[in-house]
Structure 1
Amino acid sequence: MEGRRKAAFELGLLLLLAAAGLILRHPGLLVLAIPVAVHFTSGLVLAYEERHPRLAAQRRLSARRLREGDEVEVAVRVENQGVDLELVVVEDPLPPRWTLVDGEPRAVRPLARGECLELRYRARVARGLYRLEAVRAEVRDFLGYSLWRGELACPAPLAVLPRHERLSGIAMAPRRTLVAQGTVLARRAGPGLEFFGTREYLPGDDLRRLDWKAYARVGKLVITEFEEERATEVMVVLDVRASAYPAAGGEELLDHAVRAAAAFCQHFLREGHRVGLLLYGRYLDFILPGYGHRHGERLLRALARAELGHVDVFSELSHLPTRFFPAGSQIVLVSPLAPGDQDTVGRLRARGYSVLVVIPDPLSFERGELPDSREVELAARILELERWEMLRLLLS
């Protein structure tokens, strides 16, 4: 610490002057040592008295739940509950990927007993679940001693959820459906909107479903049947393997993948389906399929904490734990797809799952980080051809 280094320097200078004065028998050197000794002693006394300042901090946020890209206003209030302090430095470090918009998260000023110091700033937030625990504080006296550094606890939770688009018109054909009504055609007659067929009228049938045109042609009462629409179970799988994302721009590409996964989760929940989530790669973050608004909030919070990572056991998509997926359900895989992953998609279909693959394009993000040159253009074309070949195998 700076104060300790300064004290050590003055102590060394004091001993050097005193030793030189005694050895050389030079009273002038001893006289020069007197102000150094006074300064050193007074600094030690003040340091002992102000070693543990009594500071208390409070933090206020303009909101506790935001969408990524929104702005949050932060106010930090530090109160001096002890003796007068000559110089106080308070800093509230911004979390990673936050952008300061207005204000200053740092203040330096004297702080008398009972006075308060306030920080006010506005920042643009990034996706994540945060708990802003503490602010950094530093206290000094006018001599440069009693340097105290520490953290003042002022916890405040903040959830920054991913933004997502509103989807529509997504067709599914899973082999298994639930009893509840939904939007998946169940290949059987029942409540629905799509025409399924006709049959002869039976006593008790709804007269509103009589087909009078058919009666005019055949002379018999005929009932129109519709294809039943039911709900199903949907598992959204978000690939967070670091190896599947480019080294340059991987975090930004993951943000787009998270938004896509969030859009599918919210869409299928609105359609009445049971939706589950699996984050695969860094760890297994699994949420059982469920319904409702609260379940949708749980899914968004899980997506908000998604981060890239690498674990050997999850390094390949072939290790996907299919035992978590209900038999015959719909799987939505959001992944840039590494080489060889298309075989896993084929095996999932062979096991009876209906698979929808959403592929964020990693080449455009990686290309944007590289300079324009003939070599980069040639490499990009080769990689693009490789991905088209992988997509061809995936579709076949």
Structure 2
Amino acid sequence: MASTDGGGTVEPASGTRRPSSVRRTGRWRGIAAVALLAVAVGVLAKRPSLLLVGALAGAYTAYPRLTAIPDPDLSIRREIDPVSPADGDRVSVRTTIANEGDAALADLRIVDGTPAMLSVSDGSPRCATALLPGGEVTIRYELRVRPGRHVFQPTTALCRDASGSVEVERSLTAASSFECAAEVPIVPLRAQSGHYPGPLVTDDGGEGIEFHSVEKYQRGDPANRIDWRRYARTGELTSMAFHTERLAEVVVCVDARPASYRAADATEPHAVALAIDAADRIGDALFDANHRVGLAGFGRHVCVLPPRSCRDHAVRFHHRLATDPAFRLDPPETARTAEREGGAPPSRIVTGDGPNGDWAARGDGTDGPDGPDGAVPVGTQLSRIRAELGANTQVVLITPLCDDEASRIAQRFESGGTAVTVVSPDVTAAETAGGRLAKLERAHRLSVLRNAGIPAVDWTPTQPLGAAMTTIEGRGR
């Protein structure tokens, strides 16, 4: 449990340690070449001084082999103040790393796991230091707050031995989060029939509160639905029908393909982080309205959680969104090396129909049967998601529309009989020619979706999500 101290939240003294990785830095690699060269030249030229240089270089080469590989025993605690900030406030963070082991750490480098949605406004979440046994170091910085629930990522500790030739990486986790209150968005669901009574207005006539039509009276119609005014005026006996209200069955789907890891600039969160935050808030709004809600994600991995409406299912929804590999916040290597303003990275592309009406996939020639690096191909992932969709299930697809395939995926869902609403965070920038081109291409994709009858929310992250979604409320009905 977290305790309160001076208005800030103090997390548990010991964080959870993840398995560490050990790697060679290659710091002394060039010394061996110098030693061999000096010895060879000294022998050929009969120069004892060069032989002495080679011997000294050889001693330096052996030095890294004599140092022990560090085994850091670290703990973490974090203080957050305030714990319930308002939009636009700054949050002060103090993360303390302590050396719980018996050995000194000669070279320790720490990178705190700041929330993906927030940028650092003052200070730095990084430090480099040496720690004696029992010693500790505190990192202090401030975050600029925006609405939503913000979870800290694992803190990375890099520890090198005295020679600097071996580096041990260890991740420390402490359950740290805070929430900035935000208006719950009104989710613009599509009108359709269903089997569960609820607040979603459909096109079917029947019980409800919104007028639908006047029909000829049939024996057995309820008396309270008879239009007595019309009967008094014309003598014709008619019944009033209303739009039937149903519970919606909705799957919130996040596009986490490598092409979607884009950001307006290096200080802003990328589109997948924005999509996960939006999915979290949209899920809350749907659960509050008693709808049946499911979760899906596709990209490097696939996640499918079928729609349910109980409280335990809401907990599972948010847990999967925070922990499932399909919603990883760290960008893949292809996204790291791609131009931020330019086209999509060399990620797998989904297109058209495959055999037996399935999703077909084509790549850049590097994908095997299981996709890049053994991952399941995106086409197969989408087929799995589609197989979980019921006849009356609709999809809220959250995608930045960074490439044409995102638009095609939405249209494939729609043409397959699944009502789709697209929520698109805008991460394009207009400072460069490439950024302006990306913005025009994204605007064209939005137009294509709307012309195809698919409601699309154009969400600028500086704008409240709820305000953006109300712009198309009722458009799909």
Listed as ranges, the matches of 1:269-308 within 5 Å are: 269-304=287-322, 305=327
SS in structure 2 of the partner of residue 325 of structure 1: coil
Structure 1 Cα separation of the partners of residues 434 and 61 of structure 2: 60
- Residue 108 (1) aligns with residue 129 (2): yes
Structure 1 Cα separation of the partners of residues 101 and 260 of structure 2: 51
Amino acid at match of 2:398: V
SS in structure 2 of the partner of residue 92 of structure 1: strand
1:324 aligned to 361, 374, 388, which one?
A: 388
Structure 2 Cα separation of the partners of residues 158 and 316 of structure 1: 43
SS in structure 1 of the partner of residue 283 of structure 2: helix
Listed as ranges, the matches of 1:159-308 within 5 Å are: 165-168=183-186, 170=188, 172-178=190-196, 181-185=197-201, 187=204, 194=210, 229-242=245-258, 252-304=270-322, 305=327
Tell me by how many angstroms 1:366 deviates. 3.4
- Give the corresponding residue for 2:137: 118
2:430 aligned to 346, 368, 383, which one?
A: 368
Amino acid at match of 1:347: S
Q: Greater share of helix residues, 1 or 2? A: 1
Structure 2 Cα separation of the partners of residues 139 and 194 of structure 1: 72
1:90 aligned to 95, 100, 108, which one?
A: 108
Asked if the contact 1:248–1:369 (Cα under 8 Å) also holds between the matched residues in 2, the reply is no
- Give the corresponding residue for 2:415: 347
- Rg bigger for which structure? 1
Amino acid at match of 1:182: G
Deviations for 1:293-350, whole angstroms, at most 9, x for unmatched residues? 44334334444525677764745698343321111223323343736557425513xx
1:333 aligned to 386, 392, 397, which one?
A: 397
Asked if the contact 2:296–2:305 (Cα under 8 Å) also holds between the matched residues in 1, the reply is yes
Asked if the contact 1:248–1:366 (Cα under 8 Å) also holds between the matched residues in 2, the reply is yes
- For the aligned residues, what is the CA RMSD? 5.8
SS in structure 1 of the partner of residue 185 of structure 2: coil
SS in structure 2 of the partner of residue 360 of structure 1: strand
Q: TM-score, normalised by structure 1?
A: 0.61
Structure 1 Cα separation of the partners of residues 174 and 297 of structure 2: 23
Structure 2 Cα separation of the partners of residues 326 and 175 of structure 1: 12
Cα distance change of structure 1 residues 79 and 243 upon mapping to structure 2, 3 Å threshold: closer
Structure 2 Cα separation of the partners of residues 41 and 80 of structure 1: 30
1:151 aligned to 159, 164, 168, which one?
A: 168
Tell me by how many angstroms 1:367 deviates. 4.6
- Residue 74 (1) aligns with residue 95 (2): yes
Cα distance change of structure 1 residues 77 and 105 upon mapping to structure 2, 3 Å threshold: farther
Tell me by how many angstroms 1:285 deviates. 1.4
Tell me by how many angstroms 1:41 deviates. 8.1
Structure 1 Cα separation of the partners of residues 225 and 414 of structure 2: 45
Cα distance change of structure 1 residues 284 and 359 upon mapping to structure 2, 3 Å threshold: same
Tell me by how many angstroms 1:185 deviates. 4.1
Cα distance change of structure 1 residues 40 and 78 upon mapping to structure 2, 3 Å threshold: farther
Q: Which runs of 5+ in 2 are unaligned?
A: 1-25, 234-238, 333-345, 360-381, 456-477
Q: Which runs of 5+ in 1 are unaligned?
A: 141-145
- Give the corresponding residue for 1:143: none
Q: Percent identity at matched positions?
A: 15
Structure 1 Cα separation of the partners of residues 274 and 184 of structure 2: 14
Cα distance change of structure 1 residues 60 and 395 upon mapping to structure 2, 3 Å threshold: closer
Tell me by how many angstroms 1:274 deviates. 0.8
Cα distance change of structure 1 residues 195 and 238 upon mapping to structure 2, 3 Å threshold: same
Asked if the contact 1:59–1:154 (Cα under 8 Å) also holds between the matched residues in 2, the reply is no
SS in structure 1 of the partner of residue 290 of structure 2: coil
Amino acid at match of 1:278: A
Asked if the contact 2:187–2:286 (Cα under 8 Å) also holds between the matched residues in 1, the reply is no
Asked if the contact 1:89–1:106 (Cα under 8 Å) also holds between the matched residues in 2, the reply is no
Q: More displaced, 71-80 or 334-343?
A: 334-343
Tell me by how many angstroms 1:193 deviates. 5.1
Structure 1 Cα separation of the partners of residues 59 and 409 of structure 2: 71
Cα distance change of structure 1 residues 130 and 371 upon mapping to structure 2, 3 Å threshold: same
- Give the corresponding residue for 1:136: 158
Amino acid at match of 2:255: D
Asked if the contact 2:430–2:439 (Cα under 8 Å) also holds between the matched residues in 1, the reply is no
Q: More displaced, 316-325 or 260-269?
A: 316-325
Structure 2 Cα separation of the partners of residues 74 and 117 of structure 1: 10
Tell me by how many angstroms 1:77 deviates. 0.6
Q: More displaced, 254-263 or 239-248?
A: 239-248
User: How many matched pairs?
Assistant: 351
Structure 2 Cα separation of the partners of residues 256 and 271 of structure 1: 23
Amino acid at match of 1:116: G
- Residue 394 (1) aligns with residue 471 (2): no
Structure 2 Cα separation of the partners of residues 243 and 121 of structure 1: 34
